[in-house]
Structure formats: C-alpha cells, structure tokens
Amino acid sequence: MGEILEQVFISVGLLVCLVCLVKCVRFSRYLLLNYCKVLPRPFLRSMGQWAVITGAGDGIGKAYSFELARRGLNVVLISRTLEKLQAVAREIEWTTGSRVKVIQADFTRDDIYECIKEKLKGLEIGILVNNVGMLPNLLPSYFLSAPDDIQSLIHCNVTSVVKMTQLVLKHMESRRKGLILNISSGVALFPWPLYSMYSASKAFMCVFSKALQAEYRAKGIIIQVLTPYAVSTAMTKYLNTNIITKTAEEFVRESLNYVTIGDETCGCLAHEVLAGFLSLIPAWAFYSNAFQRLLLTRYTSYLKQNAKGR
C-alpha cells in the first residue's frame, strides 16, 4: 500500500513539473519574441501589399492601421464614421507615406459585404485584422438589464468576422500566404457572468479562429485569435492605464511581435500572466453569487473611478 501511494505521489509530482515546464517554455517564447525581436521586421510586409482593418476609426483598430502602415503596408480602413476614417487616413499617409483607402460600413448590418468586396477587388491583401466589435455594457450587468441590441451585437461581433474572412481568405489561399488576426477578448477564455452576450460572441471568435487555423495552416496562412483584457479606448471609457490596462498603441506594438507564437494569445505579456492567474480560480468560486456580487460592487466602483468617459 505504502509503495503504491509513493508511486502516485511521484507521478503527480512529475505531472506538475511537466505542466510548469510547458508554461515556462511558453513564457520564455514571449520574452524572446518581445525583447529579442526574433520576428524579422519585413515579415508582416512579406504577407502582401495591403492590410485590411475593420473598426479602424478609433482605438485598437486605429493603432493597428498606423503600426501596419509604419511597417510598410498600405492599409484599407473600414469603419462606421467617415469623418473619423478620413482624418485617420490623412494622418497615416502624412506620417508613414503608405497608401490608404477608406470604406464606410456599418457592421451591425448584414448587407454591406457585396460593396466591401467590390471595393477590395484587385488588391493584394496580405493581412486582415478582424477588429470591429461592440461591448453592450461596460459595467457588469444581468442579461435582462443589458441593452437590447442582440441582433446588432451578433452582426458586429460574429457575422463580420466570418464574412470578412470569407472575402479575403480565398485570395490568400491562392497566394498560399496571409495573416488573419481576430481580436476577441479575455472574457472569451471562459464564460463571464454579467457579460454573457459579449463573452459568448467573443468565444465564437476563438472557436472559429482556431478551427480555421487547423484547416489552413498547411496552406501557408496564419490565423491567430487575440484575447486581450483591458485596453484604454473609447470602449472602456479611456480607463486609466497601468501595468494591466494598456494603451491601444502599446498593446498593438507588442501583439504584432507574437503573430507566430500560436493560434491563440492574449497579445501582451501582462495579460498572459493575468489569464494564468484567473485560470487558477476554481469554477465553483468563479460562478458563485459572491463573485457576481464582487463584480457588481467592487469592480463597478473601480470602473467608475478609473474611467474618464471622454
């Protein structure tokens, strides 16, 4: 009996060591890619001449547009407000010298894709950033108390990813080259109470993205889903930045170092560590009423105190 117990303890110990080793290897790959700049700078440009970014008029999408233009790509900016798009386009052309096209489209509608397809015709698209998304409630809220724009949310957060991918992937497949970045969210990594619709819509992105990567990896296409936590943008009412809450520019610059790290990443080291800690919370505690009360009280007052709501 004693010997069997000893064997069990040794096996469990070895298993724990193995898990720790895997985590250390993954962590060191982040350090290597971020600090040693292992990814050659022309890598992104080698995907093709143009990058297409949805939700490019502000926040994370705007930051991707600037950074990709800085790295030598021409950019197609697709978003809702034409004046904002034109202002961003002028600034990108002026500061980077890259070519910029703008397409005004409202992703809460599902009749926009023929027009987008027409406007993208003939472009050698190497990168697609499926960034557009909406968060119905920044403050935690029960499903029945959240804004009732379910169809718009599904069109914007789910349909847009599938349709834009369908438009661009065919050409990437024939060129056997391309990069698709799908901006999901940390709340997609497991179901988040009080953000149910948002969390579920972003989880769709993770599943779709990872399944697609398995299908198209052998055809030379990289499809990566990003699951960031807080980034200070209009969506998060310009939360004060800190070690966790990144500016859009910081987040984007770092995330582009990790495009070859695998089919899923938080996009920055700080969020990767946070995700690791959150995954240690046992499900019974995470889905308890006490945790929801904590979100409704402490987290809500944190958001109210730190949001600038510009």
Query: Considering the complex, what minimum distance in angstroms separates the CB of residue 307 from ligand NAP?
Result: 11
Binding mask 157-196 for ligand NAP (x = CB under 6 A): --------------------------x-x-----------
Query: Considering the complex, what minimum distance in angstroms separates the CB of residue 10 from ligand NAP?
Result: 42
Q: Please, which of residues 118-147 interact with ligand NAP by CB under 6 A?
A: 131-135
Residue of 34, 65, 79, 213 that binds ligand NAP (CB under 6 A): 79
Q: 280: burial class by Cβ within 10 Å (0-12, 13-18, 19+)?
A: exposed
Burial 90-120 (b: 16+ CB within 10 A, else e): eebeeebebebbbbbbebbeeebbeebeeeb
Using CB under 6 A as the binding rule, whether residue 81 contacts ligand NAP is answered as yes
Query: Considering the complex, what minimum distance in angstroms separates the CB of residue 261 from ligand NAP?
Result: 18
Q: Where does this chain touch ligand NAP (CB under 6 A) — which range of 44-52, 89-97, 210-218, 230-238? A: 230-238
Using CB under 6 A as the binding rule, whether residue 230 contacts ligand NAP is answered as yes
Residue of 50, 58, 73, 212 that binds ligand NAP (CB under 6 A): 58
**Under 8 Å between Cβ of 134 and 202:** no
Residue of 33, 52, 53, 60 that binds ligand NAP (CB under 6 A): 60
- φ/ψ bin of 238: left (φ > 0), alpha (ψ from -120 to 50), beta (otherwise): left
Angle between helices 269-278 and 2-35 (to 10 degrees): 160
Q: Where does this chain touch ligand NAP (CB under 6 A) — which range of 76-84, 116-124, 170-178, 298-306? A: 76-84
- φ/ψ bin of 105: left (φ > 0), alpha (ψ from -120 to 50), beta (otherwise): beta
**Under 8 Å between Cβ of 155 and 80:** no
**Under 8 Å between Cβ of 51 and 181:** no
Using CB under 6 A as the binding rule, whether residue 267 contacts ligand NAP is answered as no
Binding mask 5-34 for ligand NAP (x = CB under 6 A): ------------------------------
CA distance 161 to 163: 6
Using CB under 6 A as the binding rule, whether residue 201 contacts ligand NAP is answered as no
Using CB under 6 A as the binding rule, whether residue 102 contacts ligand NAP is answered as no
Active site residues: 198
Helix (H, G, I), strand (E, B) or coil at 107: coil
CB neighbours of residue 184 within 10 Å? 28
Query: Considering the complex, what minimum distance in angstroms separates the CB of residue 33 from ligand NAP?
Result: 20
CA distance 199 to 195: 6
Using CB under 6 A as the binding rule, whether residue 82 contacts ligand NAP is answered as no
CA distance 157 to 209: 13
> By C-beta, is 74 or 184 nearer to ligand NAP?
184
> By C-beta, is 149 or 263 nearer to ligand NAP?
149
Helix (H, G, I), strand (E, B) or coil at 246: strand
Query: Considering the complex, what minimum distance in angstroms separates the CB of residue 168 from ligand NAP?
Result: 17
**Under 8 Å between Cβ of 254 and 268:** yes
Instruction: Give residues in contact with ligand NAP (CB under 6 A).
Output: 55, 57-61, 79-81, 84, 105-108, 131-135, 156, 183, 185, 228, 230-231, 233-236, 248
